[in-house]
Amino acid sequence: ISILSHWCDGKLEILAEDEVNNEDAESILGKLGVLEFDLESYNVDWMKKYKGKSEIVLRPKSVQEVSEVLKYCNSENLAVCPQGGNTGLVGGGVSVFDEIIIQLGRMNEIRSFDEQSGVAVCDAGVILENLDNFVGERGYMCPLDLGAKGTCQIGGNISTNAGGLRLLRYGSLHGTVLGLEVVLADGTVLNNLSMLRKDNTGLDLKQLFIGAEGSLGIVTGVSILTPKKPNSVNVALLAVPNYEFVLENFKLAKSHLGEILSAFEFFDSKSLQLVLKHLNQLRNPLPNTEDSKFYVLLETHGSNFEHDQEKIEMFLEAAMEKEFCSNGSLAQGEGQVRDIWAIREGIPEACGKEGAVYKYDISLPLKSLYSLCEVVEKKLINDKIYLPNDFENSLVKQVLGYGHVGDGNIHLNISAKQYDSRVLNSIEPFVYEFTKKNQGSISAEHGLGVMKGKFISYSKSDEMITVMKNIKNLLDPNGIMNPYKFLV
């Protein structure tokens, strides 16, 4: 309260003692960006699966405000939950109980952009698409792209170490983030907004916060290297008879298109059917391919359109000749490029429209990537949770898979009529046991959050977890930063 009262001339102190009327409260809270009314959207995640009970949302405007808030919360042992665009898929961005939400949306300035190096420095609350548009107007692009770009924030992307659609080409944020400004739990500001590609002076502290999911501090500023926008973009969609041929196409694409390949995504036909069912504006560019169990979307980013198109056509010819695909379509023009991407990027939304969704974001060796979906489907059938021929009595509606083949990352989605412990008990910990047995990771790109915090040992050894806990204790000894999730 003392910190807040410092901002508003002592009025908030009175407010806490309930001595002002609602009108005053509304105006004071409004000025501070403290929203007391209608907190629903801050308390529910994108999937409507995780619900918090926060009664206070703070929306700071500067790093100093973040620092003062954390200093105060730390001294009073008040737990906080950092929140960006609230598009996370593991319940990390909403409170578990009544943690104070610190939402970064008002810190949305682009601080600088260097047109020589392509380094952008911005506030953590800048929406990814806005950053991409800003650098796009200057001939650059964000190294990261994902379906939630219109809502997620760069600070949220960094805090989840989001992978996205082009990691295959432009690498992970561990490589493209050059510096961070972070506020620690006690209010200390770590200013490391370096714009240097190379900086080997001591430990690279920023790496700790990339993927920390708000457990170590609040990211307030970001320095990120953006690549040049390509002169030529090509996108093809292939209908593929089986998973083995998805991998054959990947191998073939790497040998034909290696230096220009920018994305290699796949989805099963069930995913496509859901998109066509729920997102009415989209059409299948490859009609009459119902026999194909899979679809591959591949993209090239290059510097010479004719050269790239010739190469991609040669790849398509080779794939058809070897019968690795039954049909293929090369997008003609920007509109078709967008339409094909819209199918792939629309899958999460379409799944959400089907009902409750259980999402598993798993890394596995490529050879066993899709088998995850098959074994889980079989398990659900054996447990009589999924009755494919008895829709009325089946708890599960669909089991489907899609994802980033190029990164060895599958998204297993199980849609159900509603969230139900019988479904959950059939899937977990089975899915994590399968992942561990096959040398995978239980969190490829979405993080652990409240969903997977307790399963961390399926992917990390006791020794590693101990070191993580020691780091957490060092930076956040009172445990106020995003508690009840992982490293609890």
Which residues are near ligand MLT by CB under 6 A?
A: 147, 347-348, 359, 361, 403, 411
When binding is defined by CB under 6 A, the residue of 105, 285, 328, 348 that contacts ligand FAD is 348
The 3-state DSSP class for residue 371 equals: helix
- Residue 221 phi, psi dihedral angles, 5° rounding: -140, 155
Stretch that binds ligand FAD, among 148-156, 257-265, 376-384, 471-479 (CB under 6 A): 148-156
Residue-wise DSSP of 19-75: -S-HHHHHHHHHHHTEE-S--HHHHB-TTS--B-----EE--SSHHHHHHHHHHHHH
- Asked if 302 is part of the footprint of ligand FAD (rule: CB under 6 A), the reply reads no
Which does residue 453 touch among ligand MLT, ligand FAD, none (CB within 5 to 8 A, set by kind)?
none
Q: Return the biggest CA–CA distance within the chain.
A: 79
The 3-state DSSP class for residue 219 equals: strand
Instruction: Kindly tell me which of 54 and 262 has the beta carbon lying closer to ligand MLT.
Output: 262
CB of 149 to ligand FAD, least distance (A): 8
What span, in angstroms and rounded, lies between the C-alpha atoms of 3 and 55? 18
Which does residue 411 touch among ligand MLT, ligand FAD, none (CB within 5 to 8 A, set by kind)?
ligand MLT
- Asked if 119 is part of the footprint of ligand FAD (rule: CB under 6 A), the reply reads no
Residue with tokens 């970001």: 222
Residue with tokens 């899915």: 431
Which does residue 256 touch among ligand FAD, ligand MLT, none (CB within 5 to 8 A, set by kind)?
none
Instruction: Kindly tell me which of 52 and 118 has the beta carbon lying closer to ligand FAD.
Output: 52
Check if the beta carbon of residue 144 is closer than 8 Å to that of residue 164: yes
Crossing angle of helices 347-354 and 269-278, in 10° steps, is 70
CB of 308 to ligand MLT, least distance (A): 25
Instruction: Kindly tell me which of 46 and 434 has the beta carbon lying closer to ligand FAD.
Output: 46
When binding is defined by CB under 6 A, the residue of 56, 96, 119, 148 that contacts ligand FAD is 148
Which does residue 152 touch among ligand MLT, ligand FAD, none (CB within 5 to 8 A, set by kind)?
ligand FAD
- Asked if 146 is part of the footprint of ligand FAD (rule: CB under 6 A), the reply reads yes
What span, in angstroms and rounded, lies between the C-alpha atoms of 34 and 17? 17
CB of 364 to ligand MLT, least distance (A): 15
CB of 285 to ligand MLT, least distance (A): 19
Instruction: Kindly tell me which of 169 and 359 has the beta carbon lying closer to ligand MLT.
Output: 359
CB of 403 to ligand MLT, least distance (A): 6
Which does residue 162 touch among ligand FAD, ligand MLT, none (CB within 5 to 8 A, set by kind)?
ligand FAD
Strands 110-114 and 356-363, sheet pairing: unpaired
Which does residue 95 touch among ligand FAD, ligand MLT, none (CB within 5 to 8 A, set by kind)?
none
Check if the beta carbon of residue 217 is closer than 8 Å to that of residue 475: yes
3-state DSSP: the chain helix, strand, coil percent, rounded to 5?
A: 40, 20, 40
Instruction: Kindly tell me which of 141 and 152 has the beta carbon lying closer to ligand FAD.
Output: 152
Stretch that binds ligand FAD, among 21-29, 80-88, 108-116, 198-206 (CB under 6 A): 80-88
Using CB under 6 A as the binding criterion, the count of chain residues that bind ligand FAD stands at 37
CB of 470 to ligand MLT, least distance (A): 31
When binding is defined by CB under 6 A, the residue of 57, 124, 275, 410 that contacts ligand FAD is 124
- Asked if 79 is part of the footprint of ligand FAD (rule: CB under 6 A), the reply reads no
- Asked if 213 is part of the footprint of ligand FAD (rule: CB under 6 A), the reply reads yes
Closest to 346 in 3D by CA, of 418, 285, 273: 273
Chain centre to alpha carbon of residue 298: 20
Give the chain's end-to-end CA distance (angstroms, integer): 27
CA trace torsion 278, 279, 281, 287 (10° rounding): -70
| E runs forming strands in 70-213 | 80-83, 100-103, 110-114, 119-123, 177-184, 189-192
DSSP 93: S
Check if the beta carbon of residue 415 is closer than 8 Å to that of residue 398: yes
Which does residue 482 touch among ligand MLT, ligand FAD, none (CB within 5 to 8 A, set by kind)?
ligand FAD
What span, in angstroms and rounded, lies between the C-alpha atoms of 453 and 457? 9
When binding is defined by CB under 6 A, the residue of 58, 65, 67, 93 that contacts ligand FAD is 93
Check if the beta carbon of residue 262 is closer than 8 Å to that of residue 130: no
Q: Name the residues that contact ligand FAD, by CB under 6 A.
A: 46, 81-89, 92-93, 104, 124, 146-148, 152-153, 155-157, 159-160, 162-165, 213-214, 218-219, 348, 445-446, 449, 482
